[in-house]
Amino acid sequence: MKRRIIGLFLGVFSFVTSYSQEVKLDEVVQLAVKKNYDVLVLQKTSDIAANDNRYAFGAFLPQINANGALVRPNNNSRNLTFSDLATNVDGAQSTQGTSSIQLVWTLFDGTKMFATRKRIEELAILGEANVRNQIMNTTALVMSTYYNIIRQKQQLKAIEELMKVSEERVKLAEKKLQVGTGGKPELLQAKVDLNANRTAILAQLTLIQQLKDQLNGQLGMGLPDQYEVTDTIPINLFITLQEIVTDIEKTNTTLIAARKNVDVADLVLKENRRSRSPVINFTSAYFFNQTENELQTSPAAQKFTRQWGYNYGANISIPIMNAMNVNRLVGQSKINVKRQQLIYDQQLMLAVVGVRVAFVNYDNAKKALLIEEENILLARENVNIALEGFKRGITNYIELRTTQQSLADAYNRLIAARYLAKTSEIELLRLKGSLLN
C-alpha cells in the first residue's frame, strides 16, 4: 500500500514536472527587477527624488503672486462736524476692487540656492544608487533561492538512487530468507531503510515546492503556478580575490550609496552655514485699486476713486539674532557628516570582511567539490560491489548498509559543496557589484 502511495505521488510529480514550463535564471532575474516589491518601493522613492530634481531649477526663478479682492460693504454712518453739521446715512453701499501682481526675486543669499540645487541633484542620484543596490541584493537573493531549488532536486535524485539500493536490499533479503540463507532481521532492517527513503522523498518534494513558492513570492508571483528549473548548477572556478577587491569602493553598490549619503550631508552643512549670509531681493509690483460709493457718507467722502501703477526696488535682510538657530543647525549638520562618514567606513569594513569570508568559503568549497566528485564515484562503485557480495553471501547486511550510508553521506557532501561554492560565488559578485554583468 505504501509503495502504491509513494509511486502514485512520484508519478503525479513526474507528470506535473514534464508538463511544467522551465524557467531559466535570466528570466528570474528580469522578473526580480520588474516585480519584486522591495525594488518597486525603492523605485517609487527614487522617482520622488527625481521629480524634485526635475523642478529644482525653480530655486533660481523669481516668485510671482497675483492678488485680487472684490468687496461690497453695506454701511450705516452718523457724522457730526464741529459746525454742528450732521450727516446720517443708512444702507450706504459701495464697491471696492483691488488687484496686484507682486514679484520677489532673490539675487543673493550667500549662494545657498546653489547648495540647495546641488543637494536635490545628489538626492536624485542617491535614489538611483539605492535602487541599484536593492536590485543587486534582490538578484543575489533570488539566485540563491533558484539554485537552492536545483540543490534540493539533486538531493531528491540522490534519495531516489538510494531508495533503489534499499529496494534491491529488500528483494535480496526476501530471497535469502526464502532459501534459508538469511535472517528476518536483515529483511526488517532493509524495509525500515526503504520506508525511511520513501519518507525522505515526501519531505524533499515538500521542501522543493516550498522553495518554488518562496521564489515566486520574491518575484511578485510573476511565475506560473507550476514551473520547473534547470538541473545543473554552473560554477565559475576561476574567480580570484584580487579580481574582487580591486576598485571595490567604486563598484560596490552599498558603498556607492553610503558615499552619496556623505555628499548629501556635506551639502546640508553648506546650506546651513550660508543661512548666516544677507539676502538681497529684487521686488516689483503692479497694482490697481478702485472704489465706487453709491451714497455720500461724509462731507469728505469721494463718489469714485481709482488708483493704479507699479513700483520696483530692492530689499536686504541681514540675520543678526535668531535664537542661535543657525548655529544649532550647523552643529547638527557637522555631526551628521561625521556620522555618515562613520557609516561609510563601517560599510567598507563589512564589504572587505564579507569578501574575505565569501572567498574562503568559495575556495574551500571548490577544493571539497573536486574531492567529492571523485568520492561519489568511489561510493557508487563500493555499493555495487557490496550488492554483488550480498547476493553471493560474501557481504552481510550490516556491511551493505554501511556502504549505502557512505553513498548517502557522499551525496550530501557533494551537493552541499556545490551549492556552497555557487552561493559564495554569488556573494563575491554581489559585493563586487558585478552580479548583473
DSSP string, 167-218: HHHHHHHHHHHHHTSS-HHHHHHHHHHHHHHHHHHHHHHHHHHHHHHHHHHH
Q: Domain for residue 256, yes or no? A: yes
Mean pLDDT of the 28-40 span? 95
Q: Report if residue 61 sits inside a domain.
A: no
pLDDT for 90: 72
Rounded Cα–Cα distance for residues 320 and 316 (Å): 13
pLDDT beyond 70 at 13:
no
pLDDT in tens, 317-342: 999 888 799 999 999 999 999 999 99
Strand, coil or helix: 296 = coil
Of 5-9, 52-56, 135-139, 352-356, which range is least confident? Answer: 5-9
Cell numbers standing for residue 424:
559564495
Q: In the prediction, which pLDDT does 361 show?
A: 95
Q: Considering the domain boundaries, does residue 63 fall inside one?
A: no
Domain presence at residue 52: no
Residue 131 is predicted with a pLDDT of 97
Does 108 have pLDDT greater than 70? yes
Q: What is the pLDDT of residues 253-289, one digit of tens each?
A: 999 999 999 999 999 999 999 999 999 999 999 999 9
Task: Tell me which of 386 and 74 has the higher pLDDT.
Answer: 386
Query: 360: domain range?
Result: 2-35+109-277+319-432
Count: domains in the chain: 1
The per-residue pLDDT for 257 is 96
Residue 350 lies in a domain: yes
Reported confidence tier of residue 16, pLDDT bands at 50, 70, 90: very low
Residue carrying the nine cell digits 496686484: 100
pLDDT at residue 96 in the model: 87
Whole-number average pLDDT of the chain? 90
**SS3 of 235, please?**
coil
Residues 6 or more apart whose CB falls under 8 angstroms from that of 23 comprise: 223, 227, 228, 229
From residue 424, alpha-carbon distances to 355, 360, 365, 433 in Å are: 9, 9, 9, 14
Percent of the chain whose predicted confidence (pLDDT) is above 70: 93
What single letter denotes the amino acid at residue 275? S
In a domain, 209, yes or no: yes
Instruction: Give the pLDDT band of residue 10 (cuts 50, 70, 90).
Output: low
Residue 12 has pLDDT above 60, yes or no: no
Q: State pLDDT tens for residues 164-216.
A: 999 998 998 888 888 877 788 888 988 999 999 999 999 999 999 999 999 99
Is residue 5 over pLDDT 50? no
User: 13-27, 28-42, 142-156, 236-250: lowest mean pLDDT where?
Assistant: 13-27
**Is residue 294 included in any domain, yes or no?**
no
Residues 6 or more apart whose Cβ sits within 8 Å of residue 408: 158, 162
The answer as to whether 67 is a domain residue is no
- CATH code of the domain containing 18: 1.20.1600.10
